[in-house]
Amino acid sequence: MSVRVNRPTARECELCGRLERWDGDLGAWQIGRVEGERRAGNPHCIHEWDINGSFNPISDS
């Protein structure tokens, strides 16, 4: 049995609403869009990402 570590693919700031999605081709987080509009949030925000314990990075494979 081997263990696989999963990475999150999306995150949202709880303070300003910035939305980011992981771009595997670039190897970096990119600003997300909702209905074609960029959700950049506040550029001066110290982002508080929506980490609440529901994402489980460990899975059996």
Residue 35's pLDDT is what?
94
Q: What is the pLDDT of residues 18-28, one digit of tens each?
A: 999 999 999 99
Among candidate residues 7, 9, 10, the one with its CA nearest the CA of residue 18: 10
Percentage of the chain beyond pLDDT 90 is 62
- State pTM to two decimals: 0.72
pLDDT-based confidence at residue 14 (cuts at 50, 70, 90)? very high
CB 30 within 8 A of CB 21: yes
**Average of per-residue pLDDT across 6-22:** 91
Q: Reply yes or no on whether the pLDDT at 57 is more than 80.
A: no
